[in-house]
Structure formats: C-alpha cells, structure tokens
Chains A and B, each alone.
Chain A
C-alpha cells in the first residue's frame, strides 16, 4: 500500500547515510575532543582554574573534582547514545519488544546520581561556610563601586601604619599573605567585584554592605573585572589587586600618607596645577592641595556627578592604571615589565610608579582631550535632563592642547 512504501522510502533513504555518518561522527568527535583538550589560553589573567590565593584555592579544590565527575557522566551518556544510535538502527528487524520500563533500573540510576550529588553537597556546604568566615580578618578595606570605576578607602588601622584614611581607586593594593576583608558597597547601581585568581565574585549593591575576603599568596598583580551589568561602560570597569610583601606594603602606605607638595614655581607643572584647580577640582580631589590664599581645596563631585563622586587623584602616579583601570598609565614596555615581574622583583617595580619615560602619553592625553570618546559614559549634557544636568562620567572639557600639556606635566608630579 502507498502508506507502507512512503515510510520505507523515508527510512531506507536515511539508512543509506548511516555508514557515511559513522565516519563523519567519528571524525568530528575526534577533532572536537582534541581541540577541547588543547584549546585553552595560557596565562589568561582572569583564569578561574589558576588560583593564586587561599580562597580561590579552596574553591578550585572543590570544583575540579565536580567538573571531573560531570565530565565522566557526560561522556557516559554521549557514548551510550552513540552506541544505541548505531547498534539499534533500523536494519529491517521486526518491531521490537514493547518494553514499558524497568523500575529497578530506573530507581538504581536515580539513586546513583543522588548519592554522588549528596557527597558533592556535603563538601559544598562546608566550603560555603568556610569561605564566609570573617573572624580571622587581619585588615579591612572599604570598596565602593560606582559607574564605572572602583574606589577603595582604608580606614585607620595603626598596625599597618595607616594612621589616616587612605583613598585610592582602580588598583587595590594589599599586603601579600594577609587576610584582607573587603566591605563592598556601591553608590549607584549593582556592580560586582571579581579578582578570579584570588576569590569568587561578590556583588556591590547600593545600600548594602557585602563582605568579600581577598588574600594573595605572593606579591604580584592580579586582574579583575566588574561582573554585574552596570550600564553603558560595564565592559570598561576593571580593576587589579596588587599584592606587595609586608615591607613593601609599609612603604606604599608611607607614600600614600606623604603630604602634598605643590610643584615648584615657574614650571610647566605649576601652570598645570592652576589648570587643575580651575577645571578638575570640580570633581577630582587631591588631598592637601591648597589655594593661593591657603584654603584647602575640597572637590565637589556631589554637585556635578549623578553618583556623587569622582576618583581621588592623590598620588596618581603611584598607581599604573586610570579611568576605572580601563587604560594604562604605563606605556606598553613598562607595563610588560611590571606584569611579568616575578614575586621578588615585583614590589620594587610597582613601587617605582609612573615616571615621564614610562608614561602612556597617548591614552592619558586622549582622555584629557575627550574622555567620552574613549569610554562611553553619557557625559553628553544634552542627554542629562533626567539627572538635573549632572554627569555620569568625565565630560569633554574642551581643553586646549596647551592646557593638556600643562596638566600632564602636573599630573606627573602626583607621585
């Protein structure tokens, strides 16, 4: 009958492909498997499988076995399906036995995964509480996220030489081998602090304070990114954790607490200071800066920025990134130098900061010339009716090239 022929026609046609298909499947699986095993980046700065601190190591010790188990189960299922596909294909056999099931088999194959997951569950439970411990905190740093940069302030902690609060941004400087607790919050939307080599991420939510442990085993620089969608420049909100030996950290603290020194008279840098006081202090604070009449300069970003703050630029050249760690203050070769330094020489390289030879002139000048062109920030006043004229990020100040020249010279003095 017509009906039978059509079914047979359809199925016999596809059976002809079976042999060819076997070869194709084998080939594809082989290539895919090989690629997967070989196919990873080396030295990916945010690799989650290369822990460099105890918290990340605890996570890694838990996750590697789980991945292995999952991988094995995946292979078992795939192999079972592939075997079934070839073994039981229609070779003209009669209609098979109409088995409705096998409860014993089902229950066994349900209990086995349940048992595996129970074991995983027990270890997971313990690890969650392990990672949440804060009673052994040795140092506290407040982290505040804002569209699209991170601010760090170190409350007074005399045992580390921090006799006054220190405020920085972009690069989180910590002593290596120290249990640092970050108290994270945000000024505007939800951000997330993530340095994969040191710990899993924790969201920074406005109105809340979340605790996040960071500890690096050895001195070095550890890359991170904001990992909660926070608007236009979420992709450009980066940070690094910089771990220094205890001695080097003390040097860093001492440098941060050094009082402000105004540049010498009649230098380009002094003129730059004037430009800074006219243009930049609307938002950016440099601690200790004084006007001609001796009054301290207090920046007013609360009047100009939607989220109420802008990076504090004190000792700017002691860090080597800017604009939410999106751009480097160091040029390419100097940056290579710092990033590839081994743990012994890293501290010295980092503490030498940014000098004129190493300055990334292109990016810094580009930023001063037209920041929104380099990092999308909605700083266009025409789009700000909903914010009462306040900016979301640094606007294009319309500086002249001469001003930029002076500013760069001035900024270089902020060591």
Chain B
C-alpha cells in the first residue's frame, strides 16, 4: 500500500505524460497509412454480438453491409438521427484497412466549419472493430454521409439519416 501511494505521488510515467500533452491517443488519424499512436496495438475483436445494428464487411476489397433484420447485402444503411448505433467493421480482405465514417461537417464556435470524421483503427484480415455512430442531423443535400475505406477507391456505403 505504501509503495502504491508513494508511486501515485510521483505522478504519471514520462511517456504517458507526454502522450497526454500531445493528445497522441485521443487523436483519430483516419488516413490509409498506419498512424504511430492511434493504430498502436489495435483491438482485434468485438465482444458485442447482440447489440450490433449493422456489420460492414470488407470482402475481397468490396465493401458491403449486412443489416440486422434485412435479408441480403446492402449498399445503403438507414440510421435514425441522434441515436447511438453500433456498427462493426470486419476486415475479410488481405491487408490492413480501416473504416472511415464521413458525417458531414459541423460549425465550430469561431465560425469555422470542421469536417466530422470518425474511424476505426487499422486492422489486419480476420479482425473486427466497433464504430459507434451518433449523427445529429440529416445530411445536407448532395453531400451524403458515407462509410469508406481509405486506400480503396469506389467502395462506399451511404448512411441515410431521415
């Protein structure tokens, strides 16, 4: 106990303190390359099985959605607004890929528009990751919300928010 209390008094480990300042692990880096911190030791399994709305599978380079309750593979998914929706991305293709959700843009306090982008970590074949979407507004006309895989062109699932 004494050792533990003394340790707590000494503060965070050097590297953790540094990471905290720089925001290494909090920053999502959603490009096609492997990010040094965000993609370090990616989680490769998702224990949620019954609470998943949609599985997005990357099968041999093709992105498809299997939506719970809807038979067959889909290319669009419909998600209610402001609703936390669990999407599981499963990589069934050789190579490391991530799923990126482009959900329009939001207005920051200083009048600047910032793109809303969420993504999973980069995962190898056979792994899966969870992405929780919570989309506050429907898409602007002409600029649909999409799920894409950086590094693979033409693969996109549209996310419709009525």
Contacts and interface: CB of A to CB of B under 8 A. Distances in A.
Direct A–B touching in the complex (beta carbon < 8 Å)?
A: yes
Contacts, number: 82
Interface string B135-154: 01110110000000000000
Interface stretch (A20-28, A226-234, A269-277, A298-306): A298-306
Contact of A153 (B68, B80, B136): B80
Given A153-B78, A296-B141, A208 B50 contact: yes
Contact of B80 (A137, A142, A296): A142
Contacts of A185: 53, 80, 83, 85
Contacts of A296: 141
Interface string B57-73: 00000000000111100
B80 A166 contact: no
A135 interface: yes
A45 interface: no
Contact of B86 (A153, A181, A207): A207
B82 interface: yes
Contacts of A308: 81-83, 134, 136
A309 interface: yes
Contact of A302 (B85, B136, B160): B136
Contacts of A187: 80, 82-84
Contacts of B84: 187, 206-207
- Give the dominant DSSP class at B's interface: loop
Classify chain A's interface size.
Answer: 20 to 34
Contacts of B68: 183, 209, 211
Classify chain B's interface size.
Answer: 20 to 34
B111 interface: no
A345 interface: no
A167 interface: yes
B70 to A, nearest CB: 6
26 contacts: A140-B69, A144-B80, A155-B160, A156-B78, A156-B160, A165-B78, A165-B160, A185-B53, A185-B80, A185-B85, A187-B83, A187-B84, A207-B84, A208-B50, A208-B53, A209-B51, A209-B69, A211-B68, A302-B81, A303-B136, A305-B82, A307-B82, A308-B82, A308-B136, A309-B81, A309-B82
The 7 closest A-B pairs by CB, nearest first: A308-B82, A302-B136, A165-B162, A155-B78, A208-B51, A153-B162, A144-B80
Given A137-B70, A166-B162, A187-B83, 9 more contacts: A137-B69, A144-B80, A155-B160, A185-B85, A187-B80, A209-B53, A209-B68, A296-B141, A302-B136
